[in-house]
Amino acid sequence: MGLGRTIKPTLTGGLPGPPTGLPYASGRQVRTAAAIVGLVVLAWLLAELPLLWAAAAVAAGGGGVLLLRFPHLIWPGLAVALPFASALKRGPISLADLMLGTAVLLWFVDGVRKGRLRLTSGPLPILFVLYLFALLLSFSNAIDLQEAVEGVIKWLQMLVAVLLVREALTQRQIRWLVWGLLAGGVLQAALGIFQFVFRIGPPNFLLLDRFMRAAGTFGQPNPFAGYLGLTLPVAAALFLLNFTSILRRKGRSLRQVLAGTGAYGGAAAIIAVGLLASWSRGGWIGAAAGLAVVLFVQGGRTVQGAALAAAGVVMLLGPITYRYIPSSLTDRLADLPAYLGTGMWDIVQQPVTDNNFSIIERLAHWIAALRMWEMSPWLGVGPGNYAAVYPQVRLARWEDPLGHAHNTYLNVLAENGLIGMFAYLALWAGVVVWLVCMRRRILRGRWEGVDPQGSSISLNEGPIPSMAWSAALLVGVLGVIVHLSVHHLFDNLYVQGIYLHVALWLGAAAALADGNDT
């Protein structure tokens, strides 16, 4: 069922009308006139502007012309640039926001040119709309309206990205989007590794007196680790798809399989090293959970058996192998049980030291979130208003609100109340169920010889590897959601464009599940 109607050319008397509109405005005279105007503008730019500004203007103009001709390129471009563009802000608007707005405009122009504008509904858009409705219900309690509006706009942007990706890109073009998302993760990981090794960062990120915690362009290690952790499961799933295909090469050459294994495996390795360099416990735990899901769903019996055997060996030889694990890693994870303990009040009243500072700080903000929830149990204090209300509920010694509660579930409960919490949990539970069902649907079509649209195919034809790739991507996206859900026990990843990163993964999954080849 469409959220909007399809625009079709007008028919008169059963026959096509005269050629009108953008599709027919490309004759020789128009092209000649456009070329003359372009040359005049280029000459003016070179004559009047400094060389650097002129080169930037020419590059922007050339990019604009390229995007008008190939509008789908904006999406992989956004995927690669997202972590970098989100860091470039003027007021509340970032370069990533402008790129998303450009993508919407290009979709509209291309739809008008082709005489087809449509938005298809489905489970994912409906789940996002329900959560947006819950946010609007709590809007009336907000004391900082600007923060409330920005909090709603984030989720509206996610909805727009999910809707437009599935409409603007074909299945072939979706691969470019996925590769763009993976490339962005590799670039960020490489930047983080460089920061880690060459000690580039603020003094408080210094680690072991010889390294620096990696933060990429995010400015903080935790969101950097979250971004990488939300990319790693897809790289791992696609690597496992190619790796397990080496011995059963059906319809693919050994060269293709090895190339895919090397590319996705290399991407996963670089991202994993960057994640380790972040020194983020929440990122490590989330990545472990996401990779575990990918391993046991996508790995096949051989990989699953090897993983179980390795886990058994570690458990049996744990006391022996523990001494060979660097103490810096064991010390980093030793205090995790305090996060999940029941004595929060006892912990926050302890004297603050360098070793327990991060734990007590987070627990103090968790308690503040619970106090906010008590102020308005059903609707909360308003979307994005955690920092605004924090001074009213904060604990002594902890004056900085940090922007969020360092636990997304408590943050949602504080800002949106029980209604918002129920809608939030329903959203991500629904996404998980949808991903599992779509993967089963694709695999059923693969083995029964039909594609997701119901048409018959041969098991020896090309679509089979494509369907296997789609199923593996859905497993990877499932790992992304698992990482998001686990990491959100310790932090809030809806910052600096990471929410758009998640939305692009969901849009890619929706497009592949729909079998959009138009």
Residue that has been written with the tokens 């405005």 in this structure: 25
pTM across the whole model: 0.84
Spatial separation of the C-alpha atoms in residues 287 and 272, rounded to whole Å? 9
How many other C-beta atoms can be found within 10 angstroms of the C-beta atom of residue 23?
12
Distances (CA, A) of 245 to 160, 256, 423: 36, 10, 40
232-243 and 300-316 helices cross at what angle (nearest 10)?
Answer: 120
- Residue 437 has a pLDDT of 94
pLDDT (average), residues 348-361: 75
Spatial separation of the C-alpha atoms in residues 508 and 473, rounded to whole Å? 9
**Residue type at 205 in one-letter notation:** F
Residue 413 reports pLDDT greater than 80: yes
Q: Count Cα neighbours of 23 within 13 Å in the Cβ-side half-sphere.
A: 12
Residue 300: partners with Cβ closer than 8 Å, 6 or more residues away? 240, 244
- Residue 454 has a pLDDT of 42
Backbone dihedral region for residue 7 (phi beyond 0: left; psi -120 to 50: alpha; all else: beta)? beta
Residue that has been written with the tokens 């048409």 in this structure: 455
Burial group, residue 267, by CB count within 10 angstroms (0-12, 13-18, 19+):
buried
Q: How far is CA 36 from the centre of its chain?
A: 43
Q: Count Cα neighbours of 398 within 13 Å in the Cβ-side half-sphere.
A: 26
Please write the tens of the pLDDT for every residue from 472-500.
999 999 999 999 999 999 999 999 999 99
Please write the tens of the pLDDT for every residue from 13-71.
444 444 444 344 444 665 566 567 766 776 776 677 677 666 766 666 677 778 878 88
Spatial separation of the C-alpha atoms in residues 470 and 82, rounded to whole Å? 23
Q: How far is CA 213 from the centre of its chain?
A: 22
